[in-house]
Chain A
Amino acid sequence: GNSVTQMEGPVTLSEEAFLTINCTYTATGYPSLFWYVQYPGEGLQLLLKATKADDKGSNKGFEATYRKETTSFHLEKGSVQVSDSAVYFCALSDRPGRRALTFGSGTRLQVQP
């Protein structure tokens, strides 16, 4: 079956540090890949997505590249801010017609001033 594995948190960084949150997946076919972010007390917001190999999703300074050869979709940001503190979820949608997203367990990011 499908699965998404994320690094366990919490990840604690100082403001302006470089961020990487690892995500690897197992899926049949050619999944679409997503990063969602959940701020405290809120629901999930789509951060970025990529629908085919070598695509790069980007938004708000965050980037992730769809790497089929390593089945990875790592999230990166060059300089984090306190306002980036949240839980980040990697997810996949595995084939056309499949409506469910498979989520990773989430990685909590804490950015200190």
Chain B
Amino acid sequence: ETGVTQTPRHLVMGMTNKKSLKCEQHLGHNAMYWYKQSAKKPLELMFVYSLEERVENNSVPSRFSPECPNSSHLFLHLHTLQPEDSALYLCASSQDTPGGSETQYFGPGTRLLVL
């Protein structure tokens, strides 16, 4: 595997379910991100992890819970979601340096439908 991979690619869940999205990067990067892409809206940054520590959380509801066990893996745990949470969830990674972050590389996304 190369680049950034995400599983599952498609997910349908009820509002009472609990599920997790998985992201893995094979680029040796030290920062990982979750974005939400909804129809007709710009991409929204949800979470940023750098060196496995969460450094940004853009006021995301608590029904989304991220986990970064190491620099190569990132999870997004989902519980009691709402239909408006249906979207494409994109994972990205980059290499953080003292001068800033380099280019972000994206995975293919997980298409989530909440019924």
Contact = CB atoms under 8 A, between A and B. Distances in A.
Interface of A: 4, 34, 36, 41-46, 49, 89, 93, 95-106
Nearest to B6: A43
Contacts of B33: 99-100
17 contacts: A4-B42, A34-B103, A43-B108, A43-B109, A44-B43, A44-B92, A95-B100, A96-B100, A97-B100, A99-B31, A99-B33, A99-B48, A99-B50, A99-B56, A100-B45, A100-B58, A105-B41
A99 B107 contact: no
B2 to A, nearest CB: 13
A60 B50 CA distance: 31
Given A41-B108, A99-B33, A103-B42, 6 more contacts: A89-B43, A93-B101, A96-B99, A98-B100, A99-B48, A105-B41
Given A99-B56, A101-B45, A105-B40, A46 B103 contact: yes
Given A43-B90, A106-B42, A101 B104 contact: yes
Contacts of A46: 103-105
Interface string B5-45: 01000000000000000000000000101000000111101
B40 A36 contact: no
A105 B42 contact: yes
Given A44-B90, A101-B45, A36 B106 contact: yes
Nearest to A42: B108
A100 B46 CA distance: 10
A4 B90 CA distance: 19
Interface string B43-79: 1010010100001101000000000000000000000
